[in-house]
Chain A
């Protein structure tokens, strides 16, 4: 049995080696994505283009503007006399925010009357807009008391402390998601395509004519992808550690064990899809919809699960990447052991078992 499985594995590996582009894509692309994650992506917003309409033209209004510019988040793109040109600035995107200081700003402050400044924002990118609004609130709340000549000691101060990722770097938190994504693409979609290719080319019949059992064929076809995916994941993790100082605080052994569990489920799902599809295009679409998109969007990788509506939160429970990413964050960033993440690992075991059973049952039937 093992010899026959190995024979199929060797055949598949040979095919994969001849086809160096797939191997390159599987091994090289994670590196490219990691670079993008590590160097380019962050949710912070800097150099916000701020247009200013200062109708007050007073020492106080200039002081407020200085507070904005000195915060480091804003750069001034225009000083306007009135608000009319703002429309064009916002339509073309040349300004992202505008600060409008009213004529009686200084007078109101001098008279100890509460006053307001208007802050206009481009909401078409709502994520950036909320961040900008947060910054503006901070600036005004910090500058307000001194402008009004008050020595307002904040009565409740916060002492924030961030654990696991003190500088809140996005590369550190995106790496587990990247691993899950690479593993998902290479296990589910690559496997499904590899099996369906045999059907499409008509070579499935020749394989069936050999004394191979369905289950041996299944193992033989999936093992090479298990190998390649593991190598890709290990490379990414090593690079993340070397380039971006992503700490690996927990046990490598646990990490490997959980990864294999996750991969087993993914490979099973890939085989399952391959029994449904007759062409690689169909297999790809099924894989995209059932594994790639959920891994990207429903796993808590980028978008927090707690903010999703209850129905989607329920669906996220059958997305294996959800458990895998949670466990990875716990092992890699928090360095905690199985006593904390055993239930996530158990979910992965259950998922793998169900999917592999389904896949085997269907393969046996379809062969």
Chain B
């Protein structure tokens, strides 16, 4: 136990001696929070709309107004001829182009059905898809012309009534901090010893490999915990993310996730010989695939079956469920125990594989 504390102190001293790392460690969560809270919004608003009104009637102007009075569209240009739309779409200055044909008002008045053309820029598939569906919504509302729909859909949204994407993005910063600290920086710290040749010196001390591992990894888990404590008030009071569940549940279920990421950090360190490699391996092999395949940004249920199977071995998948469950749904262990168990199992598995590899490298 004393030896363990010694190596912990050594690692913390080394970290503290670098005057640049501490400010970064505290600025980092703030930057991540700001970006996740404000930029990572999947709501598409103010889509740039180009209008080509060939009818120039009261009815056509009313239709354009219906588009621009919603928060979904922003008119960037009105052109007189359809081929003038091309450069606007080509340069991406407009994402959706609306063409109202000549005779729009006359046909409408005569009771004939009329068609308007919508051109969408598909090179940004997300804006294209959502922009088209908003546009069709506006057109449908305009077509019904104030008459009530025979069957109305009365939506009730649970857990996040206004569908604020910030509420489910911002808690993700906790996962990000944990991954960066305990997976990426800790693996770099371990590799640093071998890169600088000081690992041998550590090994000739009476420390067991287990103590070295724990002593090198725990400081990063501690700093991660401090960073989370800094970040939480910002999450709760600045971004006003509702915390429906209990902090205790969150803390309890964060432990098995940390176990997984610490194990991954150790695993990376056994595969890398330089810090550069450790960075590359943890970024490309563990960090990005985890972010993409965890359901954090892209829904899992829509992935092909093979990829859905892969997601079961991704610790972040379970942690994202935990974050959303605790923050937005307010559920506790009675619902989230399978996630906790899955992370615990994965964590133990990863740690034992990593420990085995670590011993092999030393032996």
Contacts and interface: CB of A to CB of B under 8 A. Distances in A.
Interface stretch (B141-149, B228-236, B351-359): B141-149
Contact of A22 (B188, B277, B328): B277
Contact of B292 (A40, A154, A280): A40
Contacts of A33: 284, 288-289, 292
B155 A121 contact: yes
A72 interface: no
Interface stretch (B163-171, B210-218, B257-265): B163-171
Range of interface residues on B (Cβ < 8 Å) = 35 or more
A126 B165 CA distance: 5
Nearest to B197: A201
A296 B127 CA distance: 17
Given A115-B151, A303-B41, A120 B279 contact: no
Contact of A40 (B18, B87, B160, B298): B298
Interface in A334-357: 334, 336, 340-341
A130 B43 contact: yes
Contacts of A158: 115-118, 135-136, 139
B46 A307 contact: yes
B155 A136 contact: yes
B122 A168 contact: yes
Interface in A113-128: 114-128
B20 A278 contact: yes
Contacts of A173: 122-126
A243 interface: no
A141 B275 CA distance: 57
Contacts of B142: 156
B149 A307 contact: no
Given A281-B275, A300-B124, A123 B157 contact: yes
A117 B154 CA distance: 6
Contact of B122 (A64, A134, A164): A164
A25 interface: yes
B284 to A, nearest CB: 3
Contacts of A3: none
A148 interface: yes
Interface in B104-146: 108, 113-129, 132-133, 135-137, 139-140, 142-143, 145
A143 B149 CA distance: 11
Given A158-B135, A303-B39, A147 B151 contact: yes
A119 B154 contact: yes
Nearest to B137: A137
Interface in B38-67: 38-48, 63
B185 interface: yes
Contact of A193 (B31, B47, B137, B279): B279
Interface string A311-350: 1100010000000001001100110100011000000000
Contacts of A36: 289, 292-293, 307
B272 interface: yes
Range of interface residues on A (Cβ < 8 Å) = 35 or more
A69 interface: no
B137 to A, nearest CB: 7
B20 A280 contact: no
A22 B276 contact: yes
B301 A153 contact: no
Contact of B91 (A298, A307, A309, A341): A341
Nearest to B291: A296
A155 B108 contact: yes
Among B127, B148, B149, B329, chain A packs the most CB atoms within 10 A around the CB of B149
Contacts of B189: 281
B81 interface: no
A288 interface: yes
B132 to A, nearest CB: 5
Interface in A150-176: 150, 152-170, 172-173
B28 A289 contact: yes
B292 A41 contact: yes
Nearest to A112: B150
Contacts of A169: 125
B120 A285 contact: no
A21 to B, nearest CB: 5
B128 A168 contact: yes
A116 B18 contact: no
Contact of B20 (A119, A136, A193, A277): A277
Nearest to B283: A185
B89 interface: yes
A116 B122 contact: no
A159 B90 contact: no
A148 B125 contact: no
Nearest to A181: B288
A124 B284 contact: no
Interface stretch (A85-93, A206-214, A256-264): A85-93
A129 B137 CA distance: 17
Nearest to B188: A281
A194 interface: yes
A297 B40 contact: yes
22 contacts: A22-B274, A37-B292, A40-B298, A41-B303, A42-B298, A46-B302, A91-B329, A116-B151, A119-B154, A126-B160, A136-B153, A156-B108, A160-B136, A163-B123, A197-B195, A197-B275, A297-B35, A306-B47, A307-B41, A316-B39, A329-B92, A333-B122
Q: Which 7 interchain pairs have the tightest Cβ spacing?
A: A165-B122, A123-B160, A29-B284, A148-B150, A25-B280, A144-B151, A123-B157
Interface of B: 18, 20-21, 24-25, 27-28, 31-32, 34-36, 38-48, 63, 74, 87, 89-92, 95, 108, 113-129, 132-133, 135-137, 139-140, 142-143, 145, 148-161, 163-165, 167-168, 180, 184-185, 188-189, 192, 195-196, 271-277, 279-281, 283-285, 288-289, 292-293, 295, 297-299, 301-304, 307, 321, 324-325, 328-329, 331, 335
Given A159-B118, A333-B122, 18 more contacts: A36-B289, A42-B303, A91-B329, A116-B153, A117-B153, A121-B155, A123-B161, A140-B152, A147-B151, A153-B113, A157-B113, A158-B139, A160-B132, A163-B120, A281-B21, A284-B184, A293-B35, A334-B123
